[in-house]
Amino acid sequence: MKVVATADIHFGHSEHLGKINPETGLHTRLEDFLRNFDEIVKYVVDPKNDVGLFIIAGDLYKTRHPTNTQQEEFAKRLHFLQEKKVQTLILVGNHDIVVSEGSSHTAGVIGALADQKYIKVIDKPEVFQMPGINVVLMPYVYRQKLGVKTNDEALQYYHDTIKDLQTKVGVGPKLFVGHQTIENCHMPSGYVDPEQVSEIVVPQSFLKGFDFAIFGHIHEHQVVCNNPTVVYTGALERIDFSQSNKKVGFVVYDTEPNTFEFVNLPATDLYRIQIDLSDGEGDLTKRIVDNIDQTRIPNSIVKVECKVRETDLCKINKSTIQAITGRAKFDAGLVYDVIRSHASRNEEINESVSSHEALKKYVEGRKDLADISEEIFKRGLEIIRLCDARRK
């Protein structure tokens, strides 16, 4: 049996990198995410792919209070899956839970309206069984929800719950689905140490006895370990510039012969140009322009970042750059990392030295004026003489 899995679909994410499309009324970033979701749906309903089960392993929206538009677009697609009689499981992730609202979550409305025969929202640990597969599902678990004092106690609960559910599993392939940080997974840059946010970290050993495990939560697709194979599906779309080179896609797990395939999705080109202009040499505007691959512009979300001296800022012709980046799907701007020059004081020039000595040290210190140092010294002496004459 083939199982298609995605996670971290996060409708509404990274809206600062787009705008409302006047033709559709939808935000361009929501359109990017929906385009990828539609690709998965297309794959799932295609009879030649022979998919028996579709799983969304948590984190449906960017926020816990999704907009009507985001909910409506998602609901339309779920309705289509239901009409096509696709067995679908939606697991509740951390971004779906509103801690202050008890047991409610962003998938609640879907769960209440959908035909349970086809679309099931999983907000409690449970076993799902259908011919050809057993699935143990664990929604996002956190200490506060369980009302326990330490993460160790929460982990004990996680462990005991899995063990208990495993006893209820029948014969046939055993799949685990969760939404959590797993021990020794790769944390992409920008992730906070789970200890700092007091998150539980699931030991790999908890997953012994399963044939395969699929997780949501970490946005980068990866195989965390083998025996059993544990994978993160990764997010539905690229979310920020740090993911510029990362592939996005979905997982197709085949129970027979217990292998998986990662199917790529058409990720948006998040194109960041970074240039160091701190040497101040040459035509700075031209150097920026030469660094832009203009063939990538029309289909990308673009951002130009330059490191530049404060005194060189006026040499960059912004409108020339913006005429190019303005042709992108979205122009995320020209950003400067400004190097401010500090007139560093010569420590040897102080009240204890004579004006004559101070001038000498100053001229010696100005390496940039070495070719006219004698002339400066001569004229400086004249000024000092004039001042001395006045004082007398």
Q: Which chain residues interact with Mn ion by CB under 5 A?
A: 8, 59
Is residue 388 packed enough to be buried (19+ CB in 10 Å), middle (13-18) or exposed (0-12)?
A: exposed
Q: Closer to Mn ion at the Cβ: 188 or 203?
A: 188
Closest approach, Cβ 136 to Mn ion, in A, equals: 21
In whole angstroms, what separates CA 281 from the centre of its chain? 35
Q: Closer to Mn ion at the Cβ: 93 or 173?
A: 93
Closest approach, Cβ 193 to Mn ion, in A, equals: 16
Closest approach, Cβ 30 to Mn ion, in A, equals: 16
Closest approach, Cβ 11 to Mn ion, in A, equals: 12
Closest approach, Cβ 56 to Mn ion, in A, equals: 12
Closest approach, Cβ 10 to Mn ion, in A, equals: 6
Closest approach, Cβ 187 to Mn ion, in A, equals: 13
Q: Closer to Mn ion at the Cβ: 134 or 243?
A: 243
Closest approach, Cβ 218 to Mn ion, in A, equals: 8
Q: Closer to Mn ion at the Cβ: 95 or 143?
A: 95
Q: Closer to Mn ion at the Cβ: 59 or 123?
A: 59
Opening angle at CA 276, ends 271 and 279, nearest 5 = 160
Which residues, other chains included, contact 57 with Cβ-Cβ below 8 Å and sequence gap of 6+?
5, 6, 7, 8, 91, 93, 177, 178, 179, 214, 215, 216, 233
Closest approach, Cβ 92 to Mn ion, in A, equals: 12
